[in-house]
Amino acid sequence: MDKNAAIGVFDSGVGGLTVAREIMRQLPEEKIIYFGDTARLPYGSKSKETVIRFSEQIIRFLRTKDVKAIVIACNTASSFALDEVRKVEDIPIIGVINAGARAAVAASKNGKIGVIGTEGTINSGTYAKAIMDMKPGVEVFGKACPLFVPLVEEGMFHDTVTDEISSRYLQELKSKYIDSLVLGCTHYPLIRSTIARTMGSDVTLVNPAYETAVQLRTLLRSMEMNCDEGRNLPVEEKYQFFVSDMADKFRAFATAILPDEVKQTIKINIEEY
Ligand code: DGL
């Protein structure tokens, strides 16, 4: 395996850019090939079988780019597909669930942990299982917050509508006296300040994107697979973006949240893979 190959990162759309952004910050020497499945999102309301099929296709596409490892940046795809794809692929694949669960366990003092995410992620119970496996006896309270995704995609990061929906969704978790809350969906770190205001200063917010980048760094180091040529590459070569639809809209969103302008996004037909 070539240590100077890129890391493949994928998500149902733009949300996984919050994970790519963390990898860029924490592993600036690595190259990234990002795929956003903008033609077929949202994944959060789709069945397990469908999300597994989509994930398998995307992994086949990323492997045509000879990636050395894959990060499933999407919480829903990590919940549904990680175990399945790991059974057949021979490169390291990591999801976001374990990293987020570990950080939540470390942050919680009273053993009451909240998890918010899509319907798929919450109903799958993967966060709850991962957290309880790591620390038996803790209580985990899940809450699906489906409206957060479109609010973020509309750019309503600081908006009274987002405040109102946040209060309604999170009231239930506040009443359980949780002291840490996993932002278990790629989009939620972008409305972190709203969620923090709703939950109050006693609740630690856990961003699995950050923890996933930490896990990736540890993994690459342990395999001695760190890239040593990424730092000298022009940014358009170092970071490449592919989508299944709406390339210009994706590019504008990516430019707004990533440190460097995204000059090119290539649309591919993912159904061919
Ligand atoms: N990326 C998805 C996740 O983290 C959210 C958007 C979707 O439903 O596709 O679960």
Give pLDDT tens digits for 105-121.
999 999 999 999 999 99
Full-model pTM: 0.97
Q: What is the mean pLDDT of residues 24-49?
A: 97
Pair 146, 198 in one domain:
yes
Q: Please state, in angstroms and rounded to a whole number, the distance separating the CA atoms of residues 32 and 119.
A: 29
Task: Map residue 98 onto helix, strand or coil.
Answer: helix
If asked whether residues 113 and 84 sit together in one domain, one would say no
Q: Which residues pair with 34 in a beta bridge?
A: 9, 241
Residue reference for tokens 């492997």: 63
Residues 45 and 109 in one domain: no
* Residue nearest atom 8 of ligand 1, based on CA coordinates: 44
Q: What is the pLDDT of residue 30?
A: 97
Which has the closest alpha carbon to 253: 41, 97, 64? 41
Tell me what pLDDT residue 16 has.
Answer: 97
Asked whether residue 21 carries a pLDDT value surpassing 90, the answer given is yes
Tell me the CA–centroid distance for residue 115 and ligand 1, in Å.
Answer: 14
Q: Is residue 81 within 6 Å of ligand 1 at its C-beta?
A: no
The enclosing domain of 197 has a CATH number of 3.40.50.1860
Q: Kindly state whether residue 2 falls inside one of the protein's structural domains.
A: no
Contacts of 58 (CB under 8 A, 6+ apart): 10, 35, 37, 270, 273
Is the pLDDT at 215 greater than 90? The verdict is yes
Same domain flag for 246 and 214? yes
Q: Are 208 and 216 in contact (CB under 8 A)?
A: no
| Predicted pLDDT at 231 | 85
User: pLDDT tens-digit profile of 79-89?
Assistant: 999 999 999 99
What is the model's pLDDT at position 20? 98
What are 182's strand-pairing partners? 115, 206
> With a 6 A CB cut-off, is 41 part of the ligand 1 pocket?
yes
pLDDT for the residue 161: 98
Residue 162 and residue 239 in one domain: no
**Over pLDDT 70: what percentage of the chain?**
100
Query: Which H or E run includes 143?
Result: strand 139-144
Residue 77 CA, closest ligand 1 atom number = 10
> Hey, what's the torsion of the CAs at 214, 215, 221, 222, to 10 degrees?
150
CA distance linking residue 12 with residue 40, whole number of Å: 7
pLDDT for the residue numbered 127? 98
Q: What is the arithmetic mean of pLDDT over 13-19?
A: 96
Which one of 154, 178, 208 terminates a domain? 208
Range of the domain at 181: 97-208
Cis, bond preceding 42 (omega within 30 deg of 0): yes
